[in-house]
Amino acid sequence: MARAAFSRLAEPQDAVAAALITVAGPVDALRVATGTVRSGARLERAVAEELGRDDGGPAMVAAAIERWAARVRTLAPERDVAVLARLGGWLLTPEDDAWPVSLTDLGPEAPLCLWGRGQPPSALPASSRAVAVVGARDSTAYGESVSADLAHGLVLAGCTVVSGGAFGIDAQAHRGALAAHQRETAHPAPPSRARVPATHGGGVDEPQDAVDAVTRASTLPTVAVMACGVDRFYPAAHESLLRAVMADGCLLAEVPPGSSPTRWRFLQRNRLIAALSGATVVVEARWRSGALNTAHHAAGLGREVGAVPGSVHASTSAGCHRLLRESEAVCVTDVDDVLALLAPYRVTGQPSGRRDTASTAAPSRPDAVGAPSGSRGGSRTGDRGSREASVRTARPAAHDGLSPQDLILFDALPVRRGATTAGLASVAGLSEPLVRAGLGRLSLRGLAVAAGDGWRKGHPVRG
């Protein structure tokens, strides 16, 4: 229950929360976080050491406790668990045997717990048999066809397709995976002699019949990682699709029931999609697509990344071409190419290693993808014109350049009625002094305006 409470108290990727739990354990950490007991100098030093700091422990812990204070009164983990249990859902923690081992690759950014609906957590696949298929929401018929075909073939090969349930490429990936699973369940295919990448250290390819029809039919076809509570179907237009995913696969989230989807949480959940998968494939993506964020998380974790090429005239494929040009992404055109990405992971049982180069480190924003000095092909004039055209078609967003803290606050602002600083502190998970300071910065950009006794979103000031 302590981890369930923490998932409501702290926003995902809260480094102090993770360090406090590591040092004190979930139960004692929660007592400190809620102010039930004092932290003490020894614990504060241990938290600082866990975060790689020589000092500053007291200040960090104090700031975190102040940040969490607005949410303490909302804590009711027993209620959250009961609500989800009535919906057939479950709570999974790192202490459980079914916890996905691959999430430990995230280190201090690993989720505190997972909330799920659908098949039981014991059915979650190893990352060596899971592939993330992601891409643009405003996809083309070409991208949707490729996404569905890849997902369909991956499930027939015994893999699980991981995606985010969004419009466009995500939705088609889920649909293709479900269609393949339903086909296998209803009409198991006869064994094929086609060969798939080896799954053992000998390096010899295994015949396809090693992954028999029974195994394929019992494997989770797809997992949707949500940016909101799994008691909600978001987007609402995908309720029937997400119910179908839940019936044969599962929905996962690191935020508790009732949590709203926000721009920041969409970015945060991308790291989970990448970590749960042995490889990530970007099917279609614009120059500034959020799918690039997932790809860079994957590369930073040492996972293989694939990108599907498109027309050089299509802005919807500019992000894929950018990955192929500026990173170690591999060009993929069919299921065999994707399975080849998984081959090294299957042989060793481990990703190829965390990469710390500038070209693969996961950026904090989907547009923060930069080519490293001396990246391959960096001076080709033909590509430069296409790249510049893509940049021109991607207008800067109003929230570009905001710090993570200000982005969370901006997401918390209502559109119409004003919200008080206390209310914003609870929604955003920030202390009231931080909220007031953040509102000042947002108001200078026109992103926050006073409304009566509160604040709401404003019209941005553009240069």
Preceding amide of 235 cis, omega within 30? yes
Say whether both 239 and 303 belong to one domain. yes
Residue 355 lies in a domain: no
Say whether both 344 and 408 belong to one domain. no
Structure tokens at 422: 């206390």
Say whether both 63 and 124 belong to one domain. no
Residue 376 lies in a domain: no
pLDDT at 384: 42
Residue 92 lies in a domain: no
Residue 152 lies in a domain: yes
Task: State which residues form the domain around 43.
Answer: 1-75
pLDDT at 201: 37
pLDDT at 168: 96
Residue in 28, 21, 36 with CA at minimum distance from that of residue 95: 21
Residue 334 lies in a domain: yes
- In the block, tokens 């994707």 appear at 338
Residue 384 lies in a domain: no
Rg (C-alpha) for the chain, rounded Å, is 22
Tell me the DSSP string of 182-226.
HHHHHSPPPP---EE---STT-PPEEGGGS-HHHHHHS--EEEE-
Residues of the chain with pLDDT under 70: 187-218, 344-400, 460-463
Say whether both 33 and 163 belong to one domain. no
Instruction: Give the separation between CA 399 and CA 289, rounded to whole angstroms.
Output: 15
pLDDT at 54: 76
Say whether both 266 and 343 belong to one domain. yes
pLDDT at 351: 55
Residue 305 lies in a domain: yes
User: Helix, strand or coil for residue 321?
Assistant: helix
Residues 6+ apart with CB under 8 A from 57: 44, 45, 46, 47, 48, 49
Instruction: Give the separation between CA 306 and CA 338, rounded to whole angstroms.
Output: 7
- In the block, tokens 């940016």 appear at 227
Residue in 200, 141, 186 with CA at minimum distance from that of residue 168: 141
pLDDT at 435: 86
pLDDT at 370: 31
pLDDT at 356: 41
Say whether both 49 and 127 belong to one domain. no
User: Helix, strand or coil for residue 355?
Assistant: coil
The domain total for the chain is 3
Alpha carbon separation from 137 to 51, 147, 286 (Å, rounded): 36, 12, 10
The 10s digit of each residue's pLDDT in 83-107 is 999 999 999 999 999 999 999 999 9
Check which CATH number belongs to the domain holding 439 and give it. 1.10.10.10
User: Helix, strand or coil for residue 137?
Assistant: coil
Instruction: Give the separation between CA 334 and CA 194, rounded to whole angstroms.
Output: 14
For residues 278 and 127, the answer to whether their CB atoms sit within 8 Å is yes
Check which CATH number belongs to the domain holding 218 and give it. 3.40.50.450
The 10s digit of each residue's pLDDT in 127-151 is 999 999 999 999 999 999 999 999 9
Alpha carbon separation from 302 to 173, 274, 341, 357 (Å, rounded): 23, 10, 12, 11
pLDDT at 263: 85
Say whether both 158 and 14 belong to one domain. no
Say whether both 13 and 131 belong to one domain. no
pLDDT at 398: 63
Listed residues 305, 330, 348: the one ending a domain: 348
Residue in 451, 105, 161, 450 with CA at minimum distance from that of residue 280: 161
Residue 16 lies in a domain: yes
Average pLDDT for the chain: 83
Listed residues 75, 108, 140: the one ending a domain: 75
Instruction: Give the separation between CA 300 and CA 392, rounded to whole angstroms.
Output: 28
Say whether both 282 and 162 belong to one domain. yes
Structure tokens at 28: 């004692």
Structure tokens at 209: 């019949």
Listed residues 303, 332, 348: the one ending a domain: 348
